[in-house]
Amino acid sequence: MRASITAFGTTTATALLCCAIFFPHMLLARPGQRLPEVVEQSEFENDTFSLNQTDMLLLPENVTMNNPIKMAVEDNDFSVYKSKQLPPTADGSSLKIRISTVCEIIDMNEIKAEMIMDIIIKQSWLDIRLNYEADVERNSKSLVVASDENLESTIWKPDIYVTNQRDGHLHTIPVPNSKIILRPTGEVIWSNRYSMVLSCDMRFEYFPFDTQRCYMELSSYSYTIELLNLEWSKLQPPIEIDHSKSLAKFSLIESWESVCNLNHDNGNYPCLRLNFVFVRQLGFHVVQSFVPTSLLVMLSWVSFWLDVRSAAARVALGITSLLTLIEHGNSIKDSLPNVSYTKAVDIWVMVCELFVIGAILEFVYANYRVRLFKSRANTIDRRARILFPSTFVFFAASYVFYYGYWINHKHGMNG
**CB 96 within 8 Å of CB 229:** yes
**CB 116 within 8 Å of CB 107:** yes
Tell me the pLDDT tens digit for each residue of 245-254.
889 999 999 9
DSSP-assigned letters across all residues of 213-252: EEEEEEEESS--TTTEEEEE-SSS-SEEE--SS--SSEEE
Residue type, 205: E
Strand 178-182 versus strand 95-109 pairing type: unpaired
What's the CATH code, domain 284-414? Answer: 1.20.58.390
pTM over the 0.85 mark: no
pLDDT for the residue numbered 146: 56
**CB 133 within 8 Å of CB 49:** yes
The yes-or-no verdict on residue 14 having pLDDT over 60 is no
Q: Which run of H or of E encompasses 167? A: strand 165-170
DSSP-assigned letters across all residues of 14-60: HHHHHHHHHHHHHHHT-TTSPPP-PPPPPTTTTSTT---TT--EE-G
CA–CA dist 243, 249 (Å, integer): 15
Q: CA nearest 188: which of 158, 213, 210?
A: 158
Its sign, for the CA torsion 386, 389, 393, 396, is: positive
Half-sphere exposure of 5 (CA within 13 A, CB side): 2
Tell me the pLDDT tens digit for each residue of 100-133.
999 999 999 999 999 999 999 999 999 988 877 6
Q: CA nearest 305: which of 390, 222, 377?
A: 377
Terminal-residue alpha carbon distance, the chain: 88
Tell me the pLDDT tens digit for each residue of 305-348.
988 878 889 999 999 999 999 999 999 988 888 899 999 999 99
Residue 364 burial (CB count, 10 A)? 13
The distance between the two most distant Cα atoms of the chain, rounded to a whole number of Å, is: 134
pLDDT for the residue numbered 77: 60
Instruction: Compute the average pLDDT of residues 350-368.
Output: 93
CA–CA dist 233, 236 (Å, integer): 6
The boundaries of every CATH 2.70.170.10 domain in the chain are 57-280
Pick the CATH number of 57-280 from 2.70.170.10, 3.30.830.10, 3.40.50.280, 1.10.10.10: 2.70.170.10
